[in-house]
Amino acid sequence: MSRRVYHDEDGQPYYELICDGCRCRLACTDDSCYDWDLLRAVAESDGWDLAAARPTGPHRCRACALARSDAEPPQPAYA
Ligand SMILES: [Zn+2]
């Protein structure tokens, strides 16, 4: 669970996306943190691996997504 929901002083919910690998936080530079779908799109364009963008994760930043794909090459499928 790496999506966090907060409320600002007006009671508006906003979201924070935390990497499940290194615990870094997606930098939100505009109003996209007020909309999960928008924030997700920002993250994906930044290279985050959002595992089909489920709110519960796992979510990985670009660095962790790359490290993970290096560490776990695709396995051949044996049927
Ligand atoms: Zn990370």
Q: How large is the average pLDDT for residues 48-54?
A: 77
Residue 10 CA to ligand 1 centre (angstroms) = 31
- Does the structure show a pLDDT above 80 at 13? yes
pLDDT value at residue 69 = 65
Residue 18 CA to ligand 1 centre (angstroms) = 8
Give the predicted TM-score (pTM) of the model: 0.70
Q: Rounded to whole angstroms, how far apart are CA atoms 3 and 75? A: 30
Residue 20 CA to ligand 1 centre (angstroms) = 6
